[in-house]
Amino acid sequence: MSTRAPRGRRPGGPDTRSAILAAARAQFATAGFSGTTIRAVAADAGVDAALVHHYFGTKDDLFVAALELPVDPRVVLGPAIEQGPDGAGERMLRVFLSVWDDPANRLPLLGLVRGLLEPSGQRLVRDGFLEVVIGPVGVALGIDEPGRRMPLVASQVFGLIIVRYLLEVEPLASMTTDELVAIYAPTIQRYLTGPLP
Amino acid sequence: MSTRAPRGRRPGGPDTRSAILAAARAQFATAGFSGTTIRAVAADAGVDAALVHHYFGTKDDLFVAALELPVDPRVVLGPAIEQGPDGAGERMLRVFLSVWDDPANRLPLLGLVRGLLEPSGQRLVRDGFLEVVIGPVGVALGIDEPGRRMPLVASQVFGLIIVRYLLEVEPLASMTTDELVAIYAPTIQRYLTGPLP
């Protein structure tokens, strides 16, 4: 909207948002989460760092936006987390299943999982997804040793995603929410709050 | 070795073995395990079906050979299975970890997992790997409802493979066998013999 020349940087608008997201995705994939800076993403997109903050907030927020998740896990898991560690395994699993079992979310989520399982996705999961999305859940829950426990939770949840949603192995693919909760909630709860070696 | 013309079919030898394996891999990938026949594999490889049986045994054996696993899971898991369902979670997990933690096996196994997670691999896992390799373990153990229980075991084992070996997430990637057994053996044992919904 400004009539001043933008000193070689683009003005705001939908194209700017897309350019920032594209630059962010490229940097997160090559430099990992920890190696990515808002300043470098802004430079790649040809905008001021302040504009990146304005559109996307923190680096964590930018990362979640770059993943293009159909839902923000930090938002949908909020109520399940607020009630604390007791029963959190079942509450979080029910949220997870409701998101994945919604047909509108399935394809984008499967695309994301396939991308994360490619060699280029390894850093995104290890340095980004676990640090920004999964790790903070454990901290917010107030469990002990979240850095040891949340990867255990991830190991069961990733496996469930692969067998139920990616490979569609029966009878797991057709089980109801209540059946899955009876099977998997105790496992996840034990990883969250049970004894560790 | 024969001096007779082989009626348009190749004689035996290393090249014949390779041709049969290549034909088998192609058919299993496109037609799935159930849609593949020894006869069709033999025709594709330009040999008699009897020669396929001679080299590779049954269709199950041919499938395992086509996967090019560094070890035959049916063989290495044999002693763990023979002792029955009690404690089988820990015994099978220890075998699994000893195979995956051997550096000679790691790369071939990771290559296999990456292949199985690709869209073309879905049928191989669902119709082949689960039916030929994982399913029979449950039957041999003598557990009830192996068709429901073994996919649950697979969901935890696949997730452990992804987080520990494919993504190398810490501290899971550096945990000792005994730590992993303390964490995962109870889960696997519950899926094998615990109550089901």
**pLDDT digit string, tens, across residues A84-110:** 999 999 999 999 999 999 998 988 888
The CA-based angle A114-A116-A120, given to 5 degrees, is 110
- Verify that A45 and A129 share a domain, yes or no: no
- Domain hosting residue B130, numbered range: 73-193
- Verify that B59 and B86 share a domain, yes or no: no
Q: Which of A67, A86, A104 is the last residue of a domain?
A: A67
Q: What are phi and psi of B70, to 5 degrees?
A: -65, -25
Check the CA dihedral B127-B128-B131-B135 and report its sign.
negative
- Verify that A56 and A132 share a domain, yes or no: no
Residue B9 lies in a domain: no
Chain B hits for A168, Cβ within 8 Å: 122, 126
- pTM (2 decimals)? 0.83
Residue A183 lies in a domain: yes
What pLDDT does residue B136 have? 87
- Verify that B47 and B120 share a domain, yes or no: no
- Verify that B35 and B86 share a domain, yes or no: no
Chain B hits for A187, Cβ within 8 Å: 156, 187, 190
Q: What is the CATH number of the domain that holds A20?
A: 1.10.10.60
- Verify that A111 and A176 share a domain, yes or no: yes
Nearest residue in chain B measured CA to CA from A174: B148
Quick: pLDDT tens for B60-106. Answer: 889 888 888 888 888 899 999 999 999 999 999 999 999 999 998 98
- Verify that A87 and A63 share a domain, yes or no: no
- The residue ranking higher by pLDDT, B33 or A17, is A17
- Verify that A33 and A80 share a domain, yes or no: no
- Verify that B54 and B87 share a domain, yes or no: no
- Verify that A24 and A117 share a domain, yes or no: no
Check the CA dihedral A52-A54-A56-A57 and report its sign.
positive
Pick among B110, B158, B188 to test the A interface (most A CBs inside 10 A) = B158
Which ranges of A121-176 would DSSP assign to H, the alpha helix?
A: 122-123, 135-141, 146-160
- Verify that A41 and A112 share a domain, yes or no: no
- Verify that B79 and B142 share a domain, yes or no: yes
Q: Is the ipTM of this complex over 0.85?
A: no
Number of DSSP helices (H) and strands (E) in chain B, helices first: 12, 0
Answer whether B12's CB lies under 8 Å from B105's CB. Answer: no
Whether the bond between B14 and the residue before it is cis, its omega within 30 degrees of 0, is no
